[in-house]
């Protein structure tokens, strides 16, 4: 069962700050720097999947986009262990793109990328529990080097990974002025169970343009003591930390989104105008932050109690 479905059925704690931090996809960078700029962006979230369609303008003989993932290691309690986004699909003008796909691994301040390659180890063993990986036994010196660095320890069926790693993608574009780049991936929102009073904070008012009045209007049946299932999304739409000139947003809550009776969706429109909807949002003009990140909050009411028999 996926995480979002689990959230809908697990009994929520009554007093809770965000219990699961978000793990958003990093923003895109241009290569060479400053040669690819975002123009228009359409974002949609459906059944736990985000699709980001970005019209870009390129000004280089061999333009490309870089996606440098977050550095992370293994954690037994990590709700999003696969923060290298293995499911990510990339298309350019509708055609599936196979980016240059590499990684960088470190332990402490030591870069062990080449040692892992030489040892034939899976850099993404850190996404599994336990983080076990096999190795090529024909390179004992390499394995000793990794052990001495503290990158691995012996396990019954291989080696336990102690490193951190990040995924590095280079997406080749066409040598044409304008083209469309599409990213599709599973969203990894921040998550909490909160009452309406706990939900509406100064920070969330600024980030999502949500207010107590809008929350009461959209979730009209929610009492002050109702514990809501809250998801907080951050979706990058810019390049080099620069936002596109126009962003639209669509969200169709459904299976896999923790949706129950009513789901309120909140975000900022142009000039900070609040957008608050009960249910679907369809191609609404959205406002993003200075770096091009779109912020969306959803709050779902619990299902009605089953009648006593």
Q: Are residues 147 and 215 in the same domain?
A: no
Q: Are residues 103 and 56 in the same domain?
A: no
Q: Are residues 156 and 192 in the same domain?
A: no
Q: Which of 90, 102, 248 has its CA nearest to residue 184?
A: 90
Domain, as residue range, for 107:
64-172
Q: Are residues 217 and 283 in the same domain?
A: yes
Distances (CA, A) of 49 to 11, 46, 250: 25, 5, 12
Q: Are residues 195 and 268 in the same domain?
A: yes
pLDDT digit of tens for each residue in the chain (309 aa)?
344 433 333 444 444 444 899 999 999 999 999 999 999 999 999 999 999 999 999 999 999 999 999 999 999 999 999 999 999 999 999 999 999 999 999 999 999 999 999 999 999 999 999 999 999 999 999 999 999 999 999 998 899 999 999 999 999 999 999 999 999 999 999 999 999 999 999 999 999 999 999 999 998 767 888 899 999 999 999 999 999 999 999 998 765 554 455 799 999 999 999 999 998 999 999 999 999 999 999 999 887 655 555
- Could you tell me whether strands 263-268 and 293-300 are parallel, antiparallel, or unpaired per DSSP bridges? antiparallel
Q: Give per-residue pLDDT as tens, 94-152.
A: 999 999 999 999 999 999 999 999 999 999 999 999 999 999 999 999 999 999 999 99
179 domain residue, yes or no: no
Q: Are residues 108 and 69 in the same domain?
A: yes
Q: What is the greatest pairwise CA distance in the chain?
A: 72
Question: Could you tell me if 299 and 276 are in contact, meaning their C-beta atoms sit under 8 angstroms apart?
Answer: no
178 domain residue, yes or no: no
Please name every residue paired with 178 in a beta bridge, in sequence order, or none if there are none: 57
Classified as helix, coil or strand, 208 is helix
Q: Are residues 76 and 12 in the same domain?
A: no
């Amino acid at each position: 069962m996926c995480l979002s479905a689990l959230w809908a059925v697990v009994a929520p704690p009554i007093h809770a700050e965000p219990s699961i931090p978000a793990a958003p996809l990093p923003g895109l960078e241009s290569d060479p720097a400053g040669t690819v700029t975002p123009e228009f962006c359409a974002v949609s979230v459906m059944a736990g999947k985000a699709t980001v369609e970005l019209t870009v303008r390129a000004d280089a003989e061999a333009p490309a986009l870089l996606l440098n993932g977050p550095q992370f290691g293994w954690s037994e309690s990590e709700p999003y262990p696969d923060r290298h986004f293995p499911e990510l699909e990339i298309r350019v003008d509708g055609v599936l793109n196979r980016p240059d796909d590499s990684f960088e691994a470190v332990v402490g301040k030591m870069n062990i990328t080449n040692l892992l390659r030489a040892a034939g180890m899976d850099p993404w063993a850190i996404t599994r529990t336990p983080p076990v990986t096999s190795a090529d036994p024909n390179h004992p010196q390499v394995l000793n080097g990794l052990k001495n660095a503290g990158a691995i320890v012996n396990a019954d069926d291989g080696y336990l990974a102690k490193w951190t790693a990040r995924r590095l993608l280079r997406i080749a574009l066409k040598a044409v002025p304008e083209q469309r780049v599409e990213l599709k991936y599973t969203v990894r929102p921040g998550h909490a169970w909160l009452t309406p009073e706990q939900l509406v904070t100064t920070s969330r008012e600024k980030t999502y343009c949500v207010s107590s009045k809008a929350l009461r209007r959209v979730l009209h049946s929610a009492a002050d003591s109702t514990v809501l299932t809250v998801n907080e999304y951050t979706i990058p739409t810019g390049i080099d930390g620069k936002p596109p000139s126009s962003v639209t947003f669509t969200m169709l809550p459904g299976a896999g989104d923790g949706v129950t009776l009513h789901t309120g969706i909140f975000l900022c429109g142009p000039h900070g105008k609040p957008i608050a909807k009960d249910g679907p949002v369809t191609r609404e003009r959205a406002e993003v932050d200075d770096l091009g990140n779109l912020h969306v909050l959803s709050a779902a009411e619990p299902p009605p109690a089953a009648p006593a028999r």
